[in-house]
Structure 1
Amino acid sequence: MGFDAWEPYQYMTVGDTVTGLDVELVRAIAAEMQCELNIVQGSWVELLGLLRDGEIDFVLGASITEDRQRFAYFSEPYRQEQFSLYVRADDIDLDVNNIEEFINAGHKLGIVNEYYYGDEIAELYASAKFRPQFVGAIISEMNMARLLDEEIDGFLEDSFVAASILRRKGLDELIKPHQITLGNNDVYVMFSKASVEEELVAEFNRGLAAIKQNGLYQQIVTRYQD
């Protein structure tokens, strides 16, 4: 299993234990399948490369794209995510209604390389007009530093992830969520076609259905919502 630190979904505790909402859900499913997990840590870009080559079997927290479908299978969706625009506290009342207006006004937007933010952002990123307004980073913390250094004017991040990082780093008074949010997107486990048979994906889906039926899924989710 590929592991990309993305609290509260995937992270490492002070005692070097890998945990998080996604990790706990997958561990519960693996127990249903009677499988043992071996964890490989890396950046999202690194993990995608390893997955493509079959050097790891699956990663968590993935979205379906046409490119990824060429080298990966996808589980049934196991949760949803919503990305929000984050800006400096002084810009919280910035008068823009969507991301296109934000970048059309000349603002630079920070994103994490190879993350999929939905069709709207993918179309803007593919545009020759708007592409220069996007600034890529390896991890979200880099976007936060760039925002405070005024190298970018905002960044996109999952609402729960951003809240967790900002609180942990003591930046929640300096960086605030703007009113602009993107639509909810389904999130999947992504399996390597180079190392995993489709039957294993079907077995994983049966395990997911089982923990939803026996109540364990909701127990885990509720613990992270409190």
Structure 2
Amino acid sequence: MERSLKNLYAAICFAITGALSTQAMAECSKTLVVNQASWKPYMYRDQTGAMAGLDYELIKGILDQAGCDYVFVEHPSKRALVGLENGEVDLVTGASITPERQRYGRFTRSYRPEEIVLVTRAADRDRLRASSLQELMSSYPVVLGAVNGGYYGEEYGALDQDSLYRSNRLILVQDVERLIGMLELSRIDAIVGDAVSLHVTAGSLGLGHRIAVHRHRLSSDVVHLLLSAKSTTLEDLKVIDEAIESYVNSEAYRSLMRRYGFSGGEGADS
């Protein structure tokens, strides 16, 4: 009887230890500092002051799936990338792959789609005819606006941004709300940015009918989470990649994406 109890106790201890070991293997190496940028409908504070948005919900779903602990901080996009490079921020969302970011960060597999567009005042859509961003900037004296620190595809990257900035033809601000307001006040003539974010933000400001998407679309791609190479590990990347693969194939993911106007299945690397 005593031996049986000892064997039972040993079996229970082994099972608990094994469970704890499995749990530990699924966790990240630290409590992740995740940046919460102001970027409707992906990350923002709602009318009650609570954090909300598609990426906010997605990152929680992914990191909960991975078994990682995390806290949110709030920095503008440009400052967050500097913090990520320095190891003060561990993770940013909605990141496109660029050589510069690969120098100081590690990209996960993709987790949702993204479309980059040009937005103008509705009255200017047919007037500003162009088949490329370069043609638009060279053919018309337009002032272009964008969120500082954002990546908007190869066409935007190919512009002589320093020259445009010095000549006040490129205006960089911290959030989309300011860009929409500046477009309405004719302080800028076009905005380059995420299609969903521009549409939702203009609607929330009551200006949806005043803007239009230019006929030339800049890019359709997918976005990733970006981890700091300085403050996270390769094992963290592996754990989060596995969580993304599992999460984007779940009904919870598809339901969430449908709620925000996406079809729900895109975004996972094949």
- TM-score norm. by structure 1 comes to 0.92
**Corresponding position: 1:160 with 2:193:** no
**Corresponding position: 1:148 with 2:184:** yes
Aligned partners of 2:120 and 2:214 also within 8 Å: yes
Distance across 2 between alignment mates of 1:131 and 1:98: 22
Distance across 2 between alignment mates of 1:220 and 1:39: 20
Report deviation, 1:17.
2.1
Aligned partners of 2:37 and 2:74 also within 8 Å: yes
Distance across 2 between alignment mates of 1:183 and 1:9: 19
Percent of aligned positions with the same letter in both sequences?
Answer: 28
What residue number does 2:107 align with? 74
**Corresponding position: 1:54 with 2:87:** yes
Aligned partners of 1:125 and 1:131 also within 8 Å: no
Report deviation, 1:128.
5.2
Distance across 1 between alignment mates of 2:64 and 2:184: 43
Quick one: structure 1 residues 129 and 221, their matched pair in 2 at CA, closer, same or farther if it must change by over 3 Å?
closer
What residue number does 2:3 align with? none
Quick one: structure 1 residues 173 and 55, their matched pair in 2 at CA, closer, same or farther if it must change by over 3 Å?
same
Question: Is there any run of 5+ residues in structure 1 with no aligned partner, and where?
Answer: none
Larger Cα-atom Rg:
2
Distance across 2 between alignment mates of 1:111 and 1:15: 28
Distance across 2 between alignment mates of 1:110 and 1:208: 33
Distance across 1 between alignment mates of 2:247 and 2:182: 41
Alignment of 1:172-183 (within 5 A): 172-183=208-219
**Corresponding position: 1:217 with 2:214:** no
Quick one: structure 1 residues 213 and 185, their matched pair in 2 at CA, closer, same or farther if it must change by over 3 Å?
closer
Report deviation, 1:216.
2.3
Per-residue Cα deviation, 1:24-74 (whole angstroms, up to 9, x for no partner): 121111112222220001111111121111111101011111111111111
Distance across 1 between alignment mates of 2:164 and 2:213: 26
- TM-score norm. by structure 2 comes to 0.78
Alignment of 1:123-134 (within 5 A): 123-125=158-160, 132=167, 133-134=169-170
What residue number does 1:114 align with? 149
Question: Is there any run of 5+ residues in structure 2 with no aligned partner, and where?
Answer: 1-33, 263-270
Residue identity matched to 2:61: A
Residue identity matched to 1:180: H
Distance across 2 between alignment mates of 1:222 and 1:129: 38
Corresponding pairs, count: 226
Report deviation, 1:126.
5.2
Report deviation, 1:180.
2.0
Superposition misfits of 4+ residues, deviation over 6 angstroms: none
**Corresponding position: 1:8 with 2:41:** yes
Quick one: structure 1 residues 17 and 129, their matched pair in 2 at CA, closer, same or farther if it must change by over 3 Å?
closer
Residue identity matched to 1:103: M
Residue identity matched to 1:54: G
Q: 1:194 aligns with which of 210, 225, 230?
A: 230
Quick one: structure 1 residues 123 and 131, their matched pair in 2 at CA, closer, same or farther if it must change by over 3 Å?
farther
What residue number does 1:100 align with? 134
Report deviation, 1:115.
0.7
Report deviation, 1:152.
1.8
Question: What RMSD in Å do the two structures reach over aligned CA positions?
Answer: 1.9
Structure with greater contact order relative to length (CA < 8 Å, sep ≥ 6): 1
Q: 2:59 aligns with which of 1, 16, 26?
A: 26
Quick one: structure 1 residues 61 and 71, their matched pair in 2 at CA, closer, same or farther if it must change by over 3 Å?
same
Residue identity matched to 1:146: M
Aligned partners of 2:144 and 2:189 also within 8 Å: yes
Structure 1, 130-139 or 97-106: larger mean CA deviation: 130-139
Per-residue Cα deviation, 1:103-159 (whole angstroms, up to 9, x for no partner): 012222111111111112101235858984322222222222222232221111211
Quick one: structure 1 residues 165 and 214, their matched pair in 2 at CA, closer, same or farther if it must change by over 3 Å?
closer
Distance across 2 between alignment mates of 1:214 and 1:171: 35
Aligned partners of 2:108 and 2:241 also within 8 Å: yes
